Every structure is written in structure tokens, then in C-alpha cells.
Amino acid sequence: MTEDMKPVHENDPMPFFCGPENMCFNECCKDLNQALTPYDILRLKRNLGLSSQDFLRTYTSRHSGPRSGLPVVGFKPNPATAHACPFVTEGGCFVYPDRPASCRMYPLARAIARSRETGEIQEYFALIAEDHCKGFGKNNGLTVRQWLDSQRVDLHNQYNDTLLELISLKNRMMPGKLPGYLSDQFYLALYDLDTFRTQIFEQDLLAQYGVPPSVFELIRTSDEALLELGLQWVRNQLFGLEMKLEA
Ligand code: SF4
Ligand code: SF4
């Protein structure tokens, strides 16, 4: 497979159209080696009506980054289907409204830089042209920004940017392999949200932090609030940073 990356600006035209009329329909959902982010898992398990524990056990495998020791979660390899995504059907994606960020972004690659002065994020994009994808060169009348908006990927990108900043902080402050117990805490609080919630409410996991009742109320039902709390808890466990606990 050849691959070509072409930088594009968000106001450039997006010469790409994906749909069932393309002869390559579903090709990009096969032969997968796809990492899933915490927010991807939150959306997928909710779409399927599963607990995070059941979703992770059924559909994913976990390994550790060889240098960082950080947990990496991806779809379970399945040679019987030539590593097709478990959610691809003849009609397309079974979990389309909650598909992962990488599925939404394809064929765009995105990189970010945060300004030290203002904290603002600058985004950079490139088109990845792969042989198997026949969607290129088809004008859809949209700019790159309009196409991105149509993919509803902003929230995924926000959570994923926060995760990347956490990983980058870990690599700066704790270079080398994360000890196994910290890797387990990272996995618990970010990937296995329902078990994290159970441990908070049934085992007093956050007893020492003086969590206000309003935050407890929020995380009882909101997966997003629980993920945000999980990101703070991991920062606290890894770097000793104080948790900001506001509902
Ligand atoms: S989640 Fe949907 S879009 Fe993504 S690889 Fe699977 S079937 Fe394809
Ligand atoms: S290979 Fe490209 S055009 Fe074909 S279905 Fe996948 S993203 Fe769409």
C-alpha cells in the first residue's frame, strides 16, 4: 500500500467523497490496527448499551507502550475476519453516530501546537491518500473545515488533545516505563469508566480528596464528567497535581 500526505489548510477545498456508491465502500474498515481513545470507548460502549468492562472484554485488547509503559487499547485482532472492525456491516458502520475519532477524521491527519503565551491551540491538517481509498478527487463542495464540522469530531478532538497533553507530560516528567500499578490506574480511570465509578461509590476510592456532593451527583450519571475527573485523578496519581473539584 502506498501512502501520500499532502498538507491542507482548513479553508482549502476538501476533494473527497465517501459513500456506498464508491467501489471501495467499507475497505477502510478492514485490516485494522486501530488504537481507541478513552472518549472513543465512552461513546462506543454507550452506543452498544454495554458497561465499559463488558465492552473492553468483548471487543478490545490491551498492551503497554514498550517505552512509556502506558496502556494502549485497540480492537481485538481477529484473523478469522482478516482483522475487520467488529462493527462493519454490508450497509456500513453499525455504530456510525458513535464511531471513533480516527474513523471520523479519515482521510485527514491532524496535528496541534499550543501557544505558550495564550494557551490557544493551532491545528494543522494533511490529506492521507491511500491506494485502497477511491474517495479522492470527488468534489463535495465543502472546505476542509466544513467537512470536519460535518464529521462532528470536535468533542473527540478536545478529549483526545487533553489525553495527548497528559501523555506528553508523563514523558517529560516521568521518562521511561510507567510502573504497572500506575498503568493500571491510568487504564481504570480513563478506559474502564464504569469500574472506576463502582470503585468510587462502593470502595470510597476518592475518600481522601474531599470531593463535594455536587461532583458525586454529577459523576453518578455523566460519563463525560467521570472521564474529566478521571483525567484529573490520573494527573494526581502520576505527578501529585492537585485535583480541581467543581461541578
Ligand atoms: S467503527 Fe465503524 S467506521 Fe470505524 S472502522 Fe469500525 S465500522 Fe468502520
Ligand atoms: S476507502 Fe475511502 S472512500 Fe472508500 S469507504 Fe473508506 S473512506 Fe470511504
Q: Is residue 43 part of a domain?
A: yes
Q: Is residue 102 part of a domain?
A: yes
The rounded percent of the chain whose pLDDT value lies above 90 is 81
125 grid coordinates: 491538517
Q: Which domain holds residue 101?
A: 3-158
Q: Which pLDDT does position 82 carry in this prediction? A: 82
Predicted confidence band of residue 247 (pLDDT cuts 50, 70, 90): low
Predicted confidence band of residue 80 (pLDDT cuts 50, 70, 90): confident
Q: Is residue 60 part of a domain?
A: yes
| Burial of 5 (C-beta count, 10 Å sphere; 0-12/13-18/19+) | exposed
Q: Is the pLDDT of residue 41 over 90?
A: yes
Query: What is the arithmetic mean of pLDDT over 117-145?
Result: 90
Q: Which pLDDT does position 142 carry in this prediction? A: 95
107 grid coordinates: 482521510
Q: Which pLDDT does position 81 carry in this prediction? A: 87
Q: Is residue 105 part of a domain?
A: yes
Measured between alpha carbons, how far is 114 from 124 in angstroms, rounded to an integer? 11
Mind listing the pLDDT tens digit for each residue in 174-216? 999 999 999 999 999 999 999 999 999 999 999 999 899 999 9
Q: Which helix (H) or strand (E) holds 36?
A: none
Among 14, 17, 28, 139, which is best to mutate for testing ligand 2, by the most ligand atoms less than 8 A from CB?
28
Q: Which pLDDT does position 3 carry in this prediction? A: 61
Q: Is residue 173 part of a domain?
A: no
Ligand 2 contacts CB of residue 138 (under 6 A)? no
CB burial string 38-73: b at 16+ within 10 A, e below:
bbbbbbbbebbebbbeebbeebbeeeeeeebbbbeb
Q: Is residue 10 part of a domain?
A: yes
Measured between alpha carbons, how far is 203 from 206 in angstroms, rounded to an integer? 9
Question: What is the whole-number distance in angstroms between the Cα of residue 18 and the centre of ligand 1?
Answer: 13
Measured between alpha carbons, how far is 170 from 58 in angstroms, rounded to an integer? 29
Place of cell 482478516: 82
CA distances, 219 to each of 39, 46, 50, 190 (Å): 15, 15, 17, 13
Predicted confidence band of residue 97 (pLDDT cuts 50, 70, 90): very high
Q: Which pLDDT does position 220 carry in this prediction? A: 96
Q: Is residue 49 part of a domain?
A: yes
Q: Is the pLDDT of residue 1 over 60?
A: no
2-6, 109-113, 230-234: lowest mean pLDDT where? 2-6
Distance from the first to the final alpha carbon of the chain: 49
Q: Which pLDDT does position 201 carry in this prediction? A: 97
Angle between helices 193-203 and 38-48 (to 10 degrees): 90
Taking CB atoms and a 6 Å cutoff, what residues make up the pocket around ligand 1? 29, 85, 87-88, 93, 95, 99-100, 103
Question: What is the whole-number distance in angstroms between the Cα of residue 3 and the centre of ligand 1?
Answer: 20
**How many structural domains comprise the chain?**
1
CA geometry: angle 150, 155, 159, nearest 5 deg: 145
Q: Is residue 217 part of a domain?
A: no
Mind listing the pLDDT tens digit for each residue in 137-177? 888 899 999 999 999 999 999 999 999 999 999 999 999 99
